[in-house]
Each structure stands twice: as C-alpha cells, then as structure tokens.
C-alpha cells in the first residue's frame, strides 16, 4: 500500500475521555499535530468520576479553562468527614475531618473539586478546539494497528463505516481498561495489568447518582417541616448536607456527598456489596430502599414530631445506579515501541482518593512534553523514544505508587470491620485532636506530605544535584498594573521558544540589573531557547515600579489581594497560603521548569545556570545526559 494513501500526523490518540482530551490540548499548546479518534458520538451524560484533586485543577488551569472550573464544572468539596458508628445518620460529629478547602498543598488551589464529568469533558474539548493542531473525530473505531521502524499505522472505521487509514510517529491508547489499545494490541505483546501491592485489593460497590428537585409547599403540602418554618433550600441542606461523608459503618461502608455545582443538586452515594450479594440486585430500587433511604429519613424527635420524616421520594431522580468492581492495578509497561498507554488503560484506582482522573491528567501532561520533544527535535528514524518513554514510566510510577498507597489506606480506614481496631482508632484520633497543632496536621490529610519530589534514576530528565525533580510550587502574583495572576500562567504563557521554561525569582527589584546581565551571558549558550527579553521575573518586593521595563515583572501577591480578584470567584478564599513558597522550597534564583510543572534545575548563579542549560541541550539533542545520568 502506497504512503500517499495514508494520512500522516505526529500523534494519534485513541479515546477522548478526560485523559485523551487533556493530552491533545497540551500537545496542541506545544504545536504538535494530533488526531483523536473517539468511538462514541457524543460525551456521555452519565457522571462517573466526581472528584479531582488540586493537581488536576492546576492542569485544567494550564489548558486555559480556569474561568470555567468554578462557574460550570464544579465546586469545592470542603471537608471529608469520616463518620463512625452503624446508625444511618449523616449529621454526626466526625471522628476525623480532612479540610480540603485550604491552599496548603502548594498549588495555589483548593484540595479537591467535586465536578460534573460531562461538563469537565466538554470544557476540555473546547480547549482542544482552540488549537489548529488538535483534530477530534467522533464515531471513529480503531480496529487494526501495526508498526515499522518509523511509524505506527492505524486503520479505523468512521461514522459511515468507511475504512480510514492514518499513520503517526506515536499512538496513545487513552481508551480505558477495556479499550482496544491494551486488550487487543499490547496484551498479545506481553503488556498486562498486575497488582501493585502484595495484597490483592479488589471490591465491588454500587454507585448511585441522584438529581434532586426541591419540594415546595405547593407541590408537597403535607410535608411536615413547612409548619416548622423550614424553606425548600433548608430542607435540601438538611437531607443532603454540604461536604462529603465517608461512612465508616462496619456493617455497610459507604461514601456520599454533593457533586457538580451546588445549583445542579447532584448527589452521589456509593456503598459496598458484601460477600454473597449480587451487585446488580443491590443496585435495584428495592435494595436502595433498604440501604440508602434510611440516610434521607430523619427521626421525628429531631424536629419534635411523633413520626419520622423522609425526603419526598418523587423529588429524587435516579441518574445512575449500577455496580462497579475496582482494584489497585497497573500495567507492567506503559509503552512498547511506538504505542503508549495513558490513564485507565495503564492503571486503575480504587475510588477512595479521587485519583483516577487526576492520575490520567498527570500521565497526559508529563507525556505531552516528551512527545513534543521527540516530534520536534528527533527524526522518525531515531530510537531515542525508547529511552524517553522508559524514563517517563519509571518517573510516573513513583507518584502512582504513592497515590495508590494513600487511596488503599483510605479505603481500609473506611471499610474497617474489626470492632477492636475501630475502638482503638477512634480513641487515638480523639486524643490527637485535643492538640490544635496535631489536629491541623491531621486535617491536612495527604497534603501534609507536601509537593511530590521524584527520586532520580537513569534517564530521568532533571538534575537532582540542582534540586530538580521537585514539583514547582504555584503562588499568586500581580503584574505592574495590579492584576492578580497565577505564577504558572506567568511562566508558561511567556513567548519562549523552548519546550522548557526559564524564570527568575528575586527578593528585590534591586537585583534586576545584575540578573539581566547573567541572562544575556547565557542567551547565546541556549541557542535561542531562552531570550532575555522573554524571561519573566517573579519578585517578592518591588520598590521602584516603572524604573525598569516592567512587561515581564511580577510581584508576589497576598492572600487578601487574591481574594479580591476575579480568580477567587466561586471558590473559597485562600487559607494557610504561603506566598514565599517558591523561595523556601526551590531555593534558587534561576529556575528551569518542565511543562509538567516539575523543576528541571534550580540555579543560584551563572555557572550552575550554564551547566543546566548545557544538560537541557543534551536532552534536546538526545546525547549522553539523558541516557546515562
């Protein structure tokens, strides 16, 4: 078959769920042509994943849809309340409450967003549409792949069932755990899912989504709370309280809470299917009446009434009620030759940490810049991609294992059934929370561990001796007009040629002249990758505004300034915000950052900066550094 019969692009992505769309959008930002083949006609209307952590929010910000996060996609999850006991009561004092409304995680964002996945995907596709390098083809079903030394060849059927042919430098399977890429193409080549812990962790739960309609006195005149003065909104808040609840019920562990925008009135309830029970039977209305409805039925004594009060059943619309089986597993390889796995195709998570979509996002952004590196700087005949993708897998696996361990620990905490262990756990938590500093430490949850830092091994593209491998903190800053911004937007929207980004962090504007002299010295060494007049300066204290060319000058902003800005609209005001986190954590003046927000090298002087630029150029040329360091 002649080459002229094949469409050619750089990257083909199979699947346009959250991971595939995120990957496409970031490739588009880096001017990498990509085609996304999606089997379905439209975005599914079924809300599946509902939680996104602060890294995920940061990556949404990175593709330019921050304005939609709190206005369309979702809202702050607030606290995660762990409720003990066996009574079906949501309004109990928690044995532990993790506060995810703060900005303690180092990203400048809240800890968790409760989102509506269809709206999330819709906004990601809008981000794709803003780039001429991204092409989405719906109703396109991949059915055959093969490759040679330079290309991966793909056949798919379009909406009219016509055969289409496309070849690419790389093919990425973001088509889920049962998708074509892994199940049909890579498993016969030895790529398979395997457990990630010694103990095989697998359970079946039922996931229930409700959409709630407010009862009103006209529609439900007999509802007893009207005579007590309650309004429809107050009734809704009573029966479906704000914030998430992890019901540590040894008889039937469950998780519940609102998701999406507060005005969407969407509610998720998940509960375990016990041994001997059939998941599909447990998802039927008669089972839900026994398991879920007690939680939306209040004792009459709470209101001084002689009989119990149930939320009106006809105000509950069931969107989803089905079992799902989850486990903690990851593939033994995420790439083979020119075929790569991302998201659920590469790994699957239990649902106790909101890490499924977020981990797919991390896969996508960390892969996108590597594919840009390979497509922009290395010919198709090069085998350099094998080392790059192997190092990508080893690096991602570090954070994946950490996230999985936290998620499994959360699940075991919720599902503990041994009454002796429950007694010890509850008393231990009670004692710890008597001390304010320990209580705040507990409330930080996994965020207390701080930003991820990768441990270097062969081929990983960062310089550990220059504090590389650390996730770059994000703080708030303001330009010389007073407009408040995120530092990521300052760093990554500057017009630097390089895949990498260089920015300068200073204590005072008095250091600017000497710093610019250093930048001019290294500009030629970087061979145009970093132009002096394009490097942003993030400065703690600007004493003489207007004394220098201020287009690229940005001053650290306070929590109060952020709270007054449009960026804070729809989200909680920042608490426990650390404005000087870049200085205290990264500890350098000249900072080179990868597009996945990981520090490549943090340099304090001209010599270390020259060394870092030399290593960066080695990566761009595929020379010895990345292969043997």
pLDDT digits (tens, 9 = 90+) for 36-71: 999 999 998 888 889 999 999 999 999 999 999 999
Confidence of residue 131 (pLDDT cuts 50, 70, 90): very high
Which architecture characterizes domain 464-621 according to CATH? 3-Layer(aba) Sandwich (3.40)
CA distance 20 to 34: 11
pLDDT of amino acid 627: 38
Tokens of 548: 């220098």
Query: What average pLDDT does the segment 208-227 reach?
Result: 95
Q: Across the chain, what does the average pLDDT equal?
A: 91
The pTM is what? 0.93
Confidence of residue 626 (pLDDT cuts 50, 70, 90): very low
pLDDT of amino acid 628: 40
pLDDT of amino acid 625: 41
b vs e for 423-458, b when ≥16 Cβ sit within 10 Å of the residue's Cβ? eebbeebeeebeeeeeeeebbbbbbeebbbbbebee
**CA torsion 104→105→110→116, rounded to 10°?**
-160
Query: What average pLDDT does the segment 550-576 reach?
Result: 95
- 161-199 tens-digit pLDDT: 999 999 999 999 999 988 999 999 999 999 998 877 655
Q: Which of 343, 327, 361 is nearest to 14 (CA)?
A: 343
Confidence of residue 493 (pLDDT cuts 50, 70, 90): confident
CA distance 159 to 40: 10
Identity of the highest mean pLDDT range in 122-131, 418-427, 529-538: 122-131
Same-fold call for 7-50+116-196+329-415 versus 69-112+203-325? no
- 553-565 tens-digit pLDDT: 999 999 999 999 9
> For residue 266, what are the CA distances in angstroms to 20, 112, 245, 286, 571?
26, 17, 15, 21, 18
Q: Using the predicted structure, report yes or no on whether residue 393 has a pLDDT greater than 60.
A: yes
pLDDT of amino acid 624: 42
| Angle between helices 512-523 and 606-621 in degrees, nearest 10 | 30
pLDDT of amino acid 404: 77
- Lowest mean per-residue pLDDT among 123-132, 318-327, 465-474, 591-600: 318-327
Domain ranges across the chain: 7-50+116-196+329-415, 69-112+203-325, 419-447, 464-621
Start-end of H helices in 206-251? 232-239
Q: Which of 127, 84, 54 is nearest to 473 (CA)?
A: 54
More confident residue, 107 or 498: 107
Domain 7-50+116-196+329-415 has CATH 3.50.50.60: yes
Q: Using the predicted structure, report yes or no on whether residue 474 has a pLDDT greater than 70.
A: yes
Query: What average pLDDT does the segment 218-230 reach?
Result: 95
More confident residue, 399 or 156: 156
- 3-41 tens-digit pLDDT: 678 999 999 999 999 999 999 999 999 999 999 999 999
Which helix (H) or strand (E) segment holds residue 167: the answer is: strand 163-173
Tokens of 73: 């996609």
- 269-326 tens-digit pLDDT: 999 999 999 999 999 999 999 999 999 999 999 999 999 999 999 999 999 999 988 7
CA distance 331 to 344: 10
CA distance 543 to 172: 50
CA distance 133 to 25: 9
Q: Using the predicted structure, report yes or no on whether residue 450 has a pLDDT greater than 80.
A: no
CA distance 169 to 182: 18
pLDDT of amino acid 361: 96
- Classify domain 69-112+203-325 by CATH number: 3.30.9
pLDDT of amino acid 38: 97
pLDDT of amino acid 46: 82
pLDDT of amino acid 546: 66
Confidence of residue 139 (pLDDT cuts 50, 70, 90): very high
pLDDT of amino acid 328: 76
Q: Using the predicted structure, report yes or no on whether residue 495 has a pLDDT greater than 80.
A: no
Confidence of residue 629 (pLDDT cuts 50, 70, 90): very low
**CA torsion 150→151→152→156, rounded to 10°?**
-170
State percent of the chain over pLDDT 90. 73
Q: Using the predicted structure, report yes or no on whether residue 448 has a pLDDT greater than 70.
A: no
* Distinct helix (H) and strand (E) counts, the chain: 18, 30
pLDDT of amino acid 200: 52
């Amino acid at each position: 078959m002649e080459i002229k019969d094949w469409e050619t692009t750089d990257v083909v992505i199979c699947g346009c769920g959250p991971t595939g769309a995120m990957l496409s959008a970031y490739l588009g930002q880096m001017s990498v042509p990509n085609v996304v083949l999606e089997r379905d006609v439209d975005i599914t209307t079924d809300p599946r994943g509902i939680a996104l952590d602060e890294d995920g929010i940061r990556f949404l910000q990175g593709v330019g849809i921050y304005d939609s996060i709190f206005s369309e996609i979702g809202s702050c999850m607030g606290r995660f309340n762990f409720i003990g006991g066996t009574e079906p009561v949501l309004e109990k004092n928690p044995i532990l409450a993790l506060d995810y409304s703060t900005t303690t995680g180092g990203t400048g964002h809240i800890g968790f967003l409760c989102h509506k996945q269809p709206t999330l995907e819709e906004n990601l596709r809008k981000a794709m549409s803003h780039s001429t390098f991204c092409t989405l083809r719906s109703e396109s079903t991949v059915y055959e792949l093969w490759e040679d030394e330079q290309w991966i060849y793909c056949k798919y059927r379009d909406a009219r069932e016509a055969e289409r042919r496309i070849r690419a430098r790389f093919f990425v399977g973001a088509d889920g755990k049962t998708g074509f890429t892994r199940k049909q193409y890579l498993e016969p080549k030895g790529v398979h899912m395997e457990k990630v812990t010694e103990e095989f962790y697998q359970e079946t739960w039922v996931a229930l989504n409700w959409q709630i309609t407010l009862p009103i006195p006209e529609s439900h005149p007999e509802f007893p709370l009207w005579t007590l003065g309650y309004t429809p909104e107050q009734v809704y808040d009573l029966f479906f309280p704000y914030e998430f609840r992890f019901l540590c019920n040894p008889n039937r562990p469950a998780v519940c809470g609102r998701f999406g925008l507060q005005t969407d009135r969407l509610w998720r309830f998940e509960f375990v299917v016990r041994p001997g029970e059939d998941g599909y039977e447990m998802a039927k209305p008669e089972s839900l009446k026994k398991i879920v409805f007690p939680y939306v039925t209040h004792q009459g004594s709470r209101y001084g009434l002689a009989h119990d009060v149930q939320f009106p059943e006809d105000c509950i619309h069931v969107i989803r009620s089905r079992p799902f089986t989850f486990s903690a597993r990851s593939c033994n390889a995420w790439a083979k030759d020119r075929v790569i796995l991302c998201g659920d195709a590469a790994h699957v998570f239990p649902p106790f940490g909101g890490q499924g979509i977020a981990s797919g996002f991390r896969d996508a952004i960390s892969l996108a810049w590597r594919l840009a590196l390979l497509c922009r700087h290395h010919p198709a005949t090069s085998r350099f991609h094998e080392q790059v993708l192997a190092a990508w897998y080893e690096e991602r696996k570090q954070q994946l294992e950490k996230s999985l361990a936290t998620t499994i620990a959360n699940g075991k905490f919720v599902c503990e059934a041994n009454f002796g262990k429950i007694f010890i756990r509850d008393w231990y938590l009670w004692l710890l929370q008597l001390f304010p500093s320990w209580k705040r430490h507990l409330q930080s949850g996994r965020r207390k561990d701080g930003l991820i830092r990768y441990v270097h091994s062969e081929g990983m593209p960062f310089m550990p001796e220059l504090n590389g491998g650390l996730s770059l903190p994000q703080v708030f800053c303001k330009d010389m007009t007073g407009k408040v911004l995120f530092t990521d937007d300052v760093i990554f929207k500057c017009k630097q040629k390089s895949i990498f980004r260089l920015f300068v962090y200073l204590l005072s504007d008095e250091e600017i002249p000497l710093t610019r002299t250093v930048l001019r010295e290294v500009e030629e060494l970087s061979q145009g990758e970093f132009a002096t007049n394009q490097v942003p300066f993030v400065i703690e204290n600007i004493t003489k505004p207007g004394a220098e060319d201020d287009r690229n000058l940005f001053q650290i902003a306070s929590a109060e300034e952020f709270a007054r800005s449009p960026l804070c609209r729809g989200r909680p005001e920042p608490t426990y915000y650390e404005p000087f986190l870049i200085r205290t954590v990264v500890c350098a003046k000249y900072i080179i950052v990868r597009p996945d927000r990981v520090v490549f090298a943090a340099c304090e002087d001209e010599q270390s900066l020259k060394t870092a630029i030399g290593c960066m150029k080695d990566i761009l040329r595929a020379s010895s550094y990345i292969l043997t360091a």
